[in-house]
Structure 1
């Protein structure tokens, strides 16, 4: 059992325009990538549960050649709107880094 950050060289979030967030997950090696992608920890349903969004709006893109996963979802609040707390979307990965990945 490991956390996502222990299996990856990079876990980051950023804006994908004013309405979407995107997360980049780059694994250390093929074994880590296989573990991360096959266990369901980064499924649309798991991400939706973690971020309290509708799973139908979560998009997951697997890039095996790059040992990477990209996750996109609507921002909870439009960038720059009242009550929005992360203008650049650069702190949203905090929920992902400690995500437990089981073998």
Structure 2
């Protein structure tokens, strides 16, 4: 088993406006990208479970030409609202790094 963080060149999260977060997982090569996609470890369903959001709120895209996976969800709080612990959304990618890939 290998962690997603070892296979991806970049895993990041950021704001996609004041009410949404976006996550990017980018790969250096076709082999790593295809390994993750084939494993089904990262799907809209698994992401919804990992981040405890309704599946209907998950926008999930696999972009083979870019060797990337992009996911967007609503922010739990509006940007900089009371209770928002990450105004830029840049710390939300953490759980993705340790996902186990067969």
Equivalent residues in 2 for 1:1-103, closer than 5 Å = 1-102=1-102
Distance 1:17 1:95 in 2: 22
Contact kept in structure 2, 1:13 and 1:21, CA below 8 Å: yes
Could you list the structure 1 runs, at least 4 aligned residues long, displaced by more than 2 angstroms after superposition: none
Contiguous gaps of at least 5 residues in structure 1: none
Distance 1:24 1:3 in 2: 16
What are the superposed Cα offsets for residues 10-54 of structure 1, whole Å, 9 maximum, x if unpaired? 000000001110011001311111111122221111001111100
Bigger CA drift: 37-46 or 82-91? 37-46
Give the drift of 1:62: 1.3
After TM superposition, the score normalised by the length of structure 2 is: 0.95
Contiguous gaps of at least 5 residues in structure 2: none
State the Cα RMSD in Å: 0.9
Q: How many matched pairs?
A: 102
After TM superposition, the score normalised by the length of structure 1 is: 0.94
